[in-house]
Amino acid sequence: MIRLHHLRIGRSLFTLWQLEELGADYDLTVYLRDENFRAPAALKEIHPLGKSPVIEDGDLILSESSAITTYLLEKFDKENRFAPPRTQLNDWARFTQWLHYPEGSVFGPLLIKMLLLRGGEHAGLETFSAKEIALHLGHISNQLGANDYILGSDFSAADFGVAYVASLADRLGQLDANPTLKAYLARCMQRPAFARAVEKGVE
C-alpha cells in the first residue's frame, strides 16, 4: 500500500487531497515542522532531501509533487477521470504544462515574497517578485476565465498544483484584488475530497 510522508503546513496536503480524489488506499505518516519551520530530520531517513511530499510504494520512494501526481494517475486513474489520455496528444501536453507550471515557474517568486515578508529587505528582489507574481497570477486568472477549473469546466489533476500556488499566494496576501483566483481556490477547497484531506492531514 502507498504511504504518504506528510509534512504539516505545505504542499503535501495537496498530495493527500489527490489520494482522496482518486479514492486510493493509503497510509499516512505525519511530520511536524521544527521551531525554524523546517522538516524534522526523520524525513531524511525516508528520502535524502528530507522534504515532503514523499510517497513510498513497495520499494519505490518518490519525491517531487508533480512526479507523484503522474505516478498516482498511472496507478489509480485508468479511466482518465483526472487527466486526458496520452493518445489525445495535444490535450495531454497542455495538461502536463499546467501540471508542471506551478512548481516550475510560480513557486519561486512566491517563495521570494515569503522570505521578504519574514523580515528580509532587498529592493531588487521586491521588484522582481512583485512583477513575476503579477505575471503568473494574471496568467492563471486568464486561463481560468469564466471556467471553474484550470483546464475548463472539469476538475483535473492539474488543479492540485495550481490550487497549491493559489493558496500560498492567498496566505501572502496576493489574492486580495483577484476575485477570480479567490473564487477558484474556494471552489477547490469546497470539494469533499479536500475536506477529507484537511481532516486527516491538518487536524
Residues that bind ligand GSH (CB under 6 A): 7, 10-11, 38-39, 51-53, 64-65, 103
Q: Name which of 50 and 180 has its Cβ closer to ligand GSH.
A: 50
Q: Name which of 5 and 200 has its Cβ closer to ligand GSH.
A: 5
| DSSP result, 4-60 | EEEESSSTHHHHHHHHHHHT--EEEEEE---TTSPPPGGGGGTSTT--S-EEEETTE
Q: Name which of 180 and 194 has its Cβ closer to ligand GSH.
A: 194
8 Å CB contact between 160 and 194: no
Q: How far is the CB of 51 from ligand GSH (least distance, A)?
A: 3
Q: How far is the CB of 31 from ligand GSH (least distance, A)?
A: 9
Q: Name which of 64 and 148 has its Cβ closer to ligand GSH.
A: 64
8 Å CB contact between 171 and 10: no
The residue with its CB nearest to ligand GSH is 10
User: β-pairing, 26-31 with 60-63?
Assistant: unpaired
Q: Name which of 104 and 152 has its Cβ closer to ligand GSH.
A: 104
Beta strands in the chain (DSSP E): 2-7, 26-31, 54-57, 60-63
Q: Name which of 39 and 180 has its Cβ closer to ligand GSH.
A: 39
Residue with cell 532587498: 122
Q: Is 149 helix (H, G, I), strand (E, B) or coil?
A: strand
Q: How far is the CB of 55 from ligand GSH (least distance, A)?
A: 10
Q: How far is the CB of 103 from ligand GSH (least distance, A)?
A: 5
Distance, in Å, from the CA atom of 161 to the CA atom of 11, rounded to the nearest integer, reads 8
Distance, in Å, from the CA atom of 63 to the CA atom of 141, rounded to the nearest integer, reads 28
8 Å CB contact between 62 and 22: no
Q: How far is the CB of 98 from ligand GSH (least distance, A)?
A: 15
Q: How far is the CB of 34 from ligand GSH (least distance, A)?
A: 8
